[in-house]
Amino acid sequence: MLGFTDVRHYFRGNTDWIVRGLPTDPPAPLSERIRALRYFVNNLAPGLRSFWIHYLDRVRIDEFMRDDLVRLGPEDSTPQAPPDSPTPRAVVLNSEGVLLGTIERSDPAPRALDAMNPNPQTIRPDMTPKLATHLLKSNPYLMVTTAKGRYLGRYIPND
């Protein structure tokens, strides 16, 4: 974007990038671009989206969120976890609280950075439980972050 070829952080996210037709490897098919359109519209008018969510007084996943995981820095060692501990077992955060990844393994590792899943599925706190539950069908867990990636907790569905 803007002449840069090695983009690692794009504030509006992958969906916005795809809908704008910016290059991806492999190229995003038209069906993926069409599916992403509704998320793109949300990114264009976040104030309108926030007002609409508040006006509808809809149930949001932030009501079912838990911040109960061990927090690690990238250079911290990962402790041994009991076999019955939740997955993920810990989150790896930078100094600003931005989610870098999750620890899923129960065996210890010298550095969290080497043991983490660097691409956990993240969602925003204003998502509906219905949509989050749909995402859980293809993801073992959902991490809740702000639009800038700051970790808030994990989504625990209301069973």
Q: Are 18 and 32 in contact (CB under 8 A)?
A: yes
15-35 mean pLDDT: 71
Residue ranges matching CATH 3.10.580.10 in the chain: 61-155
76-80 CB contacts, 8 Å cutoff, 24+ apart = 76/111, 76/112, 77/108, 77/109, 77/110, 77/111, 77/112, 78/103, 78/105, 78/108, 78/109, 78/111, 78/112, 78/115, 79/108, 80/106, 80/107, 80/108
Check if the beta carbon of residue 83 is closer than 8 Å to that of residue 136: no
Predicted pLDDT of residue 95: 93
- Crossing angle of helices 30-44/46-56, nearest 10°? 80
Tell me, what's the pLDDT at 133?
86
Per-residue pLDDT of 42-99, as tens digits, reads 556 666 666 766 666 667 777 888 898 999 999 999 888 777 777 898 999 999 999 9
CATH superfamily of 61-155: CBS-domain (3.10.580.10)
Instruction: Provide the terminal-to-terminal Cα distance of the chain, rounded to the nearest Å.
Output: 43
Does 125 have pLDDT greater than 70? yes
| 147 pLDDT above the threshold of 50 | yes
Q: Please state the pTM of the whole predicted model.
A: 0.66
